[in-house]
């Protein structure tokens, strides 16, 4: 039975990845800063908490990282931990660099020290590309990070590439564009939009306040994207891949799609507040997943309209069943 260790197993992608790997017959382990008190809410939501072995690990402590990997003895290691919010990274830039770049370096150094045939996946980000105009980014597109989060992800990306070349590690980075699910915390704009639309439909609110509606993003579905992570580690030789739908839509279109699912006219309820606009906001973000399609056989099935529909359906079902929402919490 192959064994996988997921750093950040309690997050959106970590939980869906754990579920996918269990379905493939893996022995799944995960890490949390303190396994004894971790709520593991997303694992419980997917009904798999009892099937995942969780270890305590402090990603910024090299000894802790080394001991966790040595204890788990995985065949595959997935690095999904670290700060996940672009907006928060402007408020906590040191946290962004340390939780993403320094933690990735510790993992790579531990793998080099242990010298075992462990395949390593690193969670990259489309934010590394910056604003590419209206040209979808592929693996050859230069990085122009415009936030502390993107700088940290860019650093981690090149660390992985360097260790792969210099030390022969079986390591790769998945450059994932936006991907959503019902497990997204409420601080993410997609979740905020769906929750607000449901409140308006139920008569509990009248308006939704947002920032810039004219930004364009490539939105996919998280349960599909974690399958691409796994596929990367099955591919030889290890390489980096852009994971995206290949279609970009404006936030305005996303809002309209969500409200339309509930029979609402979004223009009657949405107001804009310049105070909510980010520093160095990216006007356009889109990905070209051709390489993943050719070499991994992976393609996104759900595009933005389907993502919006799935989110509304899932969160509406949660409300009707009286299920708790994912905790607001700090980034994993």
- In tens, the pLDDT along 234-267 reads 999 999 999 999 999 999 999 999 999 999 999 9
Report yes or no on 329 lying in a domain: no
Residues 145 and 119 in one domain: yes
Which CATH number does the domain housing residue 139 bear?
3.40.50.720
Residues 203 and 159 in one domain: no
- 149: annotated active-site residue: yes
- 127: annotated active-site residue: yes
Q: How confident is residue 44, by pLDDT bands cut at 50, 70 and 90?
A: very high
Residue tagged active-site, from 10, 78, 89, 127: 127
- The answer to whether residue 280 scores a pLDDT higher than 80 is no
Report yes or no on 123 lying in a domain: yes
Residues 147 and 192 in one domain: no
- 98: annotated active-site residue: no
| Residue 328: per-residue pLDDT | 43
| Residue 35: per-residue pLDDT | 83
Residue tagged active-site, from 125, 147, 154, 248: 125
Residues 107 and 211 in one domain: no
Residues 101 and 153 in one domain: yes
Which CATH number does the domain housing residue 193 bear?
3.90.25.10
Show the domain range for 145: 3-179+221-243
Residues 205 and 160 in one domain: no
273 upstream amide cis, omega within 30 of 0? no
Q: Average pLDDT of the chain?
A: 94
- The answer to whether residue 37 scores a pLDDT higher than 90 is no
Residues 100 and 141 in one domain: yes
Residue tagged active-site, from 16, 26, 149, 225: 149
Residues 168 and 252 in one domain: no
In terms of pTM, does the model score above 0.75? yes
Q: Which own/partner contact pairs does 187-196 have at CB distance under 8 Å and 24+ positions apart? A: 187/85, 187/328, 188/85, 189/251, 190/219, 190/254, 190/311, 191/311, 191/315, 193/254, 193/255, 193/258, 194/258, 194/308, 194/311, 194/312, 194/315, 195/315, 195/325
**Which structure tokens are listed for 281?**
């906001």
Q: In whole angstroms, what is the distance from residue 195 CA to residue 316 CA?
A: 9
User: How many domains, the chain?
Assistant: 2
Residues 61 and 31 in one domain: yes
Q: Could you tell me what percent of the chain has a pLDDT over 90? A: 87
Sign of the torsion angle spanned by Cα atoms 157, 163, 166, 171? negative
Report yes or no on 297 lying in a domain: no
* 257, 305 Cβ separation under 8 angstroms: yes
Residues 117 and 171 in one domain: yes
């Amino acid at each position: 039975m192959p064994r996988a260790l997921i750093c950040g197993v309690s997050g959106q992608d970590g939980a869906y990845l754990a579920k996918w790997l269990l379905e493939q017959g893996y022995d799944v382990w995960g890490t949390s800063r303190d396994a004894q008190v971790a709520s593991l809410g997303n694992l419980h939501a997917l009904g798999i908490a009892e099937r995942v072995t969780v270890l305590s690990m402090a990603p910024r402590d090299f000894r802790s990282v080394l001991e966790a990997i040595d204890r788990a003895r995985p065949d595959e290691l997935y690095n999904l931990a670290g700060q996940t919010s672009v907006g928060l990274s402007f408020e906590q830039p040191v946290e962004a660099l340390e939780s993403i770049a320094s933690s990735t370096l510790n993992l790579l150094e531990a793998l080099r020290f242990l010298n075992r045939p462990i395949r390593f996946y690193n969670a990259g980000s489309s934010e590394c590309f910056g604003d590419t105009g209206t040209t979808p980014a592929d693996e050859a597109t230069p990085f122009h990070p415009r936030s502390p989060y993107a700088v940290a992800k860019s650093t981690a990306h090149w660390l992985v590439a360097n260790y792969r070349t210099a030390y022969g590690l079986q390591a790769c980075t998945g450059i994932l564009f936006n991907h959503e699910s019902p497990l997204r915390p409420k601080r993410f704009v997609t979740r905020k939009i769906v929750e607000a639309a449901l409140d308006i439909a139920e008569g509990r609110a009248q308006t939704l306040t947002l920032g810039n509606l004219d930004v364009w993003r490539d939105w996919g579905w998280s349960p599909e994207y974690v399958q691409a992570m796994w596929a990367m580690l099955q591919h030889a030789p290890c390489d980096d891949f852009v994971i995206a739908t290949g279609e970009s839509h404006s936030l305005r279109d996303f809002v309209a799609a969500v409200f339309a699912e509930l029979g609402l006219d979004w223009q009657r309820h949405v107001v804009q507040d310049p105070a909510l606009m980010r520093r160095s906001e990216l006007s356009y973000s889109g990905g070209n997943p051709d390489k993943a399609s050719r070499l991994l056989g992976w393609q996104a099935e759900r595009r933005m309209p389907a993502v919006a529909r799935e989110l509304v359906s899932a969160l509406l079902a949660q409300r009707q069943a009286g299920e708790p929402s994912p905790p607001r919490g700090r980034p994993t």
